[in-house]
Amino acid sequence: MTTVVIVDDHSLFRAGVRAELDGLVDVIGDAATVEDAVKCVVELEPDVVLLDVHMPGGGGLEVLRQVAEKRPAQRFLALSVSDAPEDVIAIIRAGARGYVTKTISGEELADAVRRISDGDAVFSPRLAGFVLDAFAAGAAPVEVDEELEQLTTREREVLRHIARGYLYKEIAARLNISTKTVEAHVSAVLRKLQLSSRHELSRWAVQRRLVD
């Protein structure tokens, strides 16, 4: 079973997630502070870390940064009540492979954890909307790596379906491709989101007061 560590400063919420994930994935530990989280993750080496974005002492971003030094391959799924674009984009660019809000059901969360553990990316409808907004069709980019700076038509189509509330397998059926191909598209978008220096993206971030 997939092993998970929960990092959140609210004990009530940690307990709730533990109960919801019980039997679906294996929760092997939890932590309430940045310091504990880093120690716990490095020690237990879970498949996936469920990471709260807002925590005292630097928040999820700080945990990501410190763990990455010791365990670069660690996979994170950000889990937060915030759906402000700056929080979402910042945590994804810092290395999280997905972002879901805390209102997600236990079953969907377990599904997302398994997908992250397999190396895929998990985009909630809202995150898909943010990415589409950030990569909105505009002036052709002039940066060096053209491939990174734009979404392909197919990637855009997949994201639009996620934003419209379709599950991966429904998207696959609608677009006549396999679920694996849908996941490959989403992973490609995640890579672009993390590595892109796209002018549009930075302008978009500035508009939303995002300091990168």
Q: Considering only CA atoms, which of 49, 69, 71, 51 is closest in space to residue 60?
A: 51
* Cα dihedral: 99, 101, 104, 108 (round 10): 0
Among 54, 65, 126, 199, binds another protein (CB under 8 A): 126
**DSSP H or E stretch at residue 40:** helix 34-44
Find the shortest distance in angstroms from Cβ 79 to another protein.
16
Nearest to another protein of 136, 206 (CB atom): 136
Among 39, 71, 154, 160, binds another protein (CB under 8 A): 160
Nearest to another protein of 38, 135 (CB atom): 135
Query: What is the distance between the alpha carbons of residues 46 and 33, in angstroms, rounded to a whole number?
Result: 17
Applying CB under 8 A, the site for another protein has a residue count of 17
Nearest to another protein of 63, 159 (CB atom): 159
Where does the chain show beta strands of DSSP type E? 3-7, 26-31, 48-51, 75-80, 98-101, 122-123
Build a one-symbol-per-residue string for 164-203: x at contacts with another protein by CB under 8 A, - elsewhere. Answer: xxx---x---------------------------------
Nearest to another protein of 27, 162 (CB atom): 162
Joined tokens for residue 73: 């391959």
108 near another protein, judged by CB under 8 A: no
- Taking residue 211's Cβ as centre, other Cβ atoms within 10 Å add up to 7
Build a one-symbol-per-residue string for 47-76: x at contacts with another protein by CB under 8 A, - elsewhere. Answer: ------------------------------
Query: What is the distance between the alpha carbons of residues 133 and 156, in angstroms, rounded to a whole number?
Result: 11
Residue found by looking up tokens 């997905």 in the block: 98
Nearest to another protein of 54, 71 (CB atom): 54
97 with 60: CB under 8 angstroms? no
Nearest to another protein of 64, 171 (CB atom): 171
Interface with another protein (CB under 8 A): 83-84, 125-126, 128-129, 132-133, 136-137, 160, 163-166, 170, 208
